[in-house]
Chains A and B, each alone.
Chain A
Amino acid sequence: DTEVTQTPKHLVMGMTNKKSLKCEQHMGHRAMYWYKQKAKKPPELMFVYSYEKLSINESVPSRFSPECPNSSLLNLHLHALQPEDSALYLCASSQEGNLAGRQETQYFGPGTRLLVL
């Protein structure tokens, strides 16, 4: 089973709203990722969690706040977003490692399409 689930599938929010994106995996993976993707562009890494601790923050604005409550769940809390934050937000997970082996393949969820008005 290589399933990563994300909710909601679509989200429309105003610039003053607070919302959260959720991601869940049950593959026993200990690394989880948030990516932002604009149309017809490659995904851009935002955050990496390793063993439930934040290991990489790619200089993401503080209006994006990640949280990893346990090894299966990853949240992205959104507050005071800008229209330019409208994008597809992808969650991924992988086994932990630093050997660039096949076991470290990142498996992605279906994404949340976010529109900020």
Chain B
Amino acid sequence: AQKITQTQPGMFVQEKEAVTLDCTYDTSDQSYGLFWYKQPSSGEMIFLIYQGSYDEQNATEGRYSLNFQKARKSANLVISASQLGDSAMYFCAMREANAGGTSYGKLTFGQGTILTVHP
């Protein structure tokens, strides 16, 4: 079973509007971290936002916020006031604390969502 699921291969949004990118995850660990990365066509993976499993408040970083629903195991990224520069691939990823063994240090990535911002 996939540990990280991003169900939207592609999303389109009008400039200045908000957009939500979906991410659901699967883990039996109590301690884990969820990360969102942006990857423009240039290739660099840019860290956007982090949510810890024990965090009671949703994470926010500027125009990025994370809608964390622990019971539903979802961690959706919300981008407010979209800009043309937001057009990129977005990856949701999870780090499990107690995976141990060969899982130590591993990020599990979703398949990604390509976001296109229209002027």
| Interface flag for A21 (CB, 8 Å) | no
Residues A102 and B33 in contact, CB atoms below 8 Å apart: yes
Q: Is A105 an interface residue (CB 8 A)?
A: yes
Contact between B105 and A33 (Cβ–Cβ < 8 Å)?
Answer: yes
8 A Cβ contacts from A63-111 to B: 88, 90, 92, 94, 98-102, 104-111
- Tell whether A113 is near chain B: CB-to-CB under 8 Å: yes
Q: How large is the interface on B (under 10, 10 to 19, 20 to 34, 35 or more residues)?
A: 20 to 34
| Assembled-state Cα–Cα distance A43/B46 (Å) | 13
A106 touches B102 (CB 8 A): no
> Within the complex, what minimum Cβ distance (angstroms) separates B109 from chain A?
4
> Is the CB of A45 closer than 8 A to any CB of chain B?
yes
* Residue in chain A with minimal CB distance to B9: A40
A105 x B47 contact (CB < 8 A):
yes
- Asked if B97 contacts A98 (CB within 8 A), the reply is yes
Chain A residues closer than 8 Å to B50, beta-carbon distance? 102, 105
Are the CB atoms of B43 and A107 closer together than 8 Å?
no
With A31-B105, A48-B105, A111-B44 known as contacts, the answer to whether A100 contacts B52 (CB < 8 A) is yes
- Chain A contact residue count (CB 8 A cutoff): 31
Instruction: Please encode chain A, from 36 to 58, with 1 for each CB lying within 8 Å of some chain B CB and 0 for all others.
Output: 00001111010010100001101
Min Cβ gap B65→A in Å is 15
Q: Is the CB of A98 within 8 A of B104?
A: yes
Interface residues of B (CB under 8 A from A): 29, 31-33, 35, 37, 42-47, 50, 52-53, 89, 91, 95-98, 100, 102, 104-107, 109-112, 114
11 other contacts beyond A90-B45, A99-B31, A107-B47, with CB at 8 A cut-off? A31-B105, A33-B105, A40-B89, A43-B91, A100-B29, A100-B33, A100-B52, A100-B53, A100-B97, A105-B35, A110-B42
